[in-house]
Structure 1
Amino acid sequence: MIKISAVVTSFNSEQTIKKCLQSLAWADEIIILDSFSEDKTLDFINEFKETFANKVQFQQVEFQGFAKQKQAVIDLASHDWVLLLDDDECLTPKAIKKIKTWRQSIPKAHAFALPRIEWVFWHWSHPWVKRNEFVRLFNKKHAYMSQDLVHESIQVEGKTKRLYAPFKHFSETSIQLKLDKINQYSALAAEQKFQNGTRCSGVRLIFYPVFYFFRQYFVRRQIFNGFAGLIKATLNSYYAYLKYAKLYELQKKKD
């Protein structure tokens, strides 16, 4: 049987951390790296530690960026195979069953991408909406975290396959929270693009957000999420606009 280390980074996640950890209780090892949470997150973590004291590790470090934080918790894993979750995510019962079955056989890839089910403001995303897939189960000898400032991801040196083990994401619990993240993430994305030499033209600034809305609402089928999907697609296109507007600003300041 393949042994699995489940790893989580946390910060001020009192609303979701309990669900996250409970969905990982089956793992051989559970490692939590916290960035000095100031809410009740630590209360839930300590309660979980008391129940599963023999396999839970807990550490706190100052936040040094999303990618560095996740790479740090991956590096703490004792086992080669790692399952990575954010503190606002949790495995579904179907995913737990699927992974338990998968671990009984020899892996046919070095990493596996899992589908994510999104909470969209006040309800779960419609099944017909296209789901994003993320590498979350991987052999750490063949994978590492990208160093992107935002939207960091697991990079795999080897074969990646899909595994239908869906997990849930409680990220967009309110429009205000979405707007706060848009402002933070767009600044980081613009900075990263600027550092990589990407530049923004006026044409892109005008037309890309329109294209992005069309892709979100129709191609990725947010239309099936009703008004929640309309709001999500609109705000995502606003994120695309802000990202390039901030990049344009960085260009002008340099000039």
Structure 2
Amino acid sequence: MVPVSVVIITFNEAHILAKTLQSVSWASEIIIVDSGSTDGTVEVARAHGARVLHRAFDGYGAQKHFAVQQATHDWILSLDADELVSEELGREIRELLRTEPPHRGYRFPISLVFMGRMLRYSGEYNKKFLRLFDRRAGNFTTDQVHERIQLQGTIGTLQQRVYHYSYENLSDFLEKQNRYSSLSAQKLLLKGKKASALKTVLRFPLTFLRIYVLRFGVLDGYPGFMWAMVMAAFTTTKYAKLREIALS
């Protein structure tokens, strides 16, 4: 089997990390880059055989780029600390890596689990992301947010999925998205984006309707309604912060 290194960046993820690491126990190596956790994350990682490195956080892209560089092997599986690889995807990856793969990278679906329910609608069920790749062909961009893998070569698609347990509860969501919306606003400002008062006001209803109606979030029940609402609030907050920065 072609060896694969799993790379994960962490900050206070002890509540979910053990399950994530158990889901990739078949990997040749697990690299954790931690940015100062105080909740036992490091201890959990080491207990599951991961190699733990410490690095001050200076953006999601730079942190992940660094993590990839620390791996022993060239084939990389990049996960967030709250993403669980399904048994089916694990088998699919191992089968793929029995020989040198024909593509330089592979996408697969990542499905969101929110408020205890996997959202099958709301636009969050079959979104595919490039996460398995040969680092000889590329690496993450160093953007603070919305980082992506830049890859030279062809990209294939795997069928099985990862389950994303992104938020422990609504309070956790609001805390994370407050930080993330600030970083996103800064990135928009660097791109020269502007946010008028009218467009900022319209962000909430338009985002809510897109997720809840056009993407059939209504079929996800109460979690679908809450997801549409909090994402509409996040988008509005991001542009409100952009407007605040621009006017300051």
TM norm structure 1: 0.90
Match of 1:137 in 2: 132
The C-alpha deviation readout for 1:191-219, integer Å capped at 9, x for no partner, is 11101111122332132332221221233
| Unaligned 5+ runs, structure 1 | 50-55
- In structure 2, give the amino acid aligned to 1:148: D
**Residue from 89, 111, 118 that aligns with 2:105:** 111
Pick which of 153-162 and 74-83 moved more.
Answer: 153-162
Match of 1:204 in 2: 199
In 1, distance between residues paired with 2:239 and 2:45? Answer: 39
The C-alpha deviation readout for 1:86-139, integer Å capped at 9, x for no partner, is 111120111111111111244232211111121111322237864322111011
In 2, distance between residues paired with 1:114 and 1:249? Answer: 37
The count of residues paired between Structure 1 and Structure 2 equals: 247
CA spacing shift, 1:126–1:140, aligned 2, 3 Å: same
The C-alpha deviation readout for 1:121-175, integer Å capped at 9, x for no partner, is 1322237864322111011122221222223222222222221231111112211
**Residue from 54, 69, 72 that aligns with 2:66:** 72
Give the percent of matched residue pairs that are identical in Structure 1 and Structure 2.
29
Q: What SS is found at the alignment partner of 2:48?
A: helix
- In structure 1, give the amino acid aligned to 2:215: R
The C-alpha deviation readout for 1:175-200, integer Å capped at 9, x for no partner, is 11111122111111111110111112
In 2, distance between residues paired with 1:245 and 1:223? Answer: 27
Q: What SS is found at the alignment partner of 2:71?
A: coil
In 2, distance between residues paired with 1:27 and 1:63? Answer: 25
CA spacing shift, 1:46–1:170, aligned 2, 3 Å: same
In 2, distance between residues paired with 1:211 and 1:143? Answer: 36
Pick which of 165-174 and 118-127 moved more.
Answer: 118-127
Q: Counterparts of 1:122-161 in structure 2 under 5 Å?
A: 122-126=116-120, 130-161=125-156
CA spacing shift, 1:66–1:207, aligned 2, 3 Å: same
CA spacing shift, 1:57–1:67, aligned 2, 3 Å: same
The C-alpha deviation readout for 1:10-37, integer Å capped at 9, x for no partner, is 2211111101111111111221112221
Contact kept, 8 Å, 1:14 with 1:40, in 2: the verdict is: yes
Match of 1:52 in 2: none
In 2, distance between residues paired with 1:34 and 1:62? Answer: 8
CA RMSD in angstroms comes to: 1.8
Residue 88 of structure 2 is aligned to residue 94 of structure 1: yes
Q: Counterparts of 1:105-254 in structure 2 under 5 Å?
A: 105-126=99-120, 130-253=125-248
| Unaligned 5+ runs, structure 2 | none
TM norm structure 2: 0.92
